[in-house]
Chain A
Amino acid sequence: GDSVTQMEGPVTLSEEACLTINCTYTATGYPSLFWYVQYPGEGLQLLLKATKADDKGSNKGFEATYRKETTSFHLEKGSVQVSDSAVYFCALSVRGAQKLVFGQGTRLTINP
């Protein structure tokens, strides 16, 4: 079945460090890919998305590129801030099925 595997956390970095959170997927068909972010005490928010191979989603300094050949959608940011501390979820949707399949989430903590 369809599944998403994320890099295990927690991840702890210092402010201004570079970030990569790995995400790989298995899907039948041609999925759309998403990153969601959950700040403490809040619901999930869509951070970025990509709907076809080689698309790059970007938002708030975060980027992720849809790599069909490696079935990956890694989340990157060049310089993280304390305010980026949150849990990040990779997810996919498969054409014809309106539900999302989520990874297990990666908790990120940024220290000043």
Chain B
Amino acid sequence: DAGVIQSPRHEVTEMGQEVTLRCKPISGHDYLFWYRQTMMRGLELLIYFNNNVPIDDSGMPEDRFSAKMPNASFSTLKIQPSEPRDSAVYFCASSRFRTVSYEQYFGPGTRLTVT
């Protein structure tokens, strides 16, 4: 089976531009997570969905960030307008509901550079 798919793998954009990151979770998984990784702050959970519904968006840094999951096989993370401090690697992960042991499966990440 294919793993979590993210696109693009690399994105370079100028400050003020809109950026859209995409994720396709593993088929059959009902949870989807967006993370951001930087040297300074480590790995941060931004938002997660269950059955396409946002459950916890408390990690979204500010209103410039938004995430959607229109169906079970696709999610987007949008930054508008982008700023240099948004430069990071953004990971998408998915998991299947379990009563115990909720291991997540990560995509390869999108490296975003905002100049």
Q: Which residues in A have some Cβ–Cβ distance to B below 8 Å?
A: 32, 34, 36, 41-46, 49, 51, 89, 93, 95, 98-100, 102, 104-105
Contacts and interface: CB of A to CB of B under 8 A. Distances in A.
Interface stretch (B13-21, B66-74, B104-112): B104-112
Contacts, number: 52
Q: Chain A interface mostly helix, strand, loop or mixed? A: strand
B50 to A, nearest CB: 7
B106 A44 contact: yes
Nearest to A89: B43
Given A95-B100, A100-B104, 8 more contacts: A42-B108, A43-B91, A43-B93, A46-B105, A51-B100, A98-B48, A99-B33, A99-B102
27 contacts: A32-B100, A32-B101, A32-B102, A41-B108, A42-B108, A42-B109, A43-B4, A43-B93, A44-B91, A44-B93, A44-B106, A45-B106, A46-B104, A46-B105, A49-B101, A51-B101, A93-B102, A95-B99, A95-B100, A98-B31, A98-B48, A98-B102, A99-B48, A100-B102, A102-B42, A105-B42, A105-B43
Contacts of B100: 32, 51, 95
A42 B33 CA distance: 17
Given A98-B50, A98-B95, A99-B56, A34 B43 contact: no
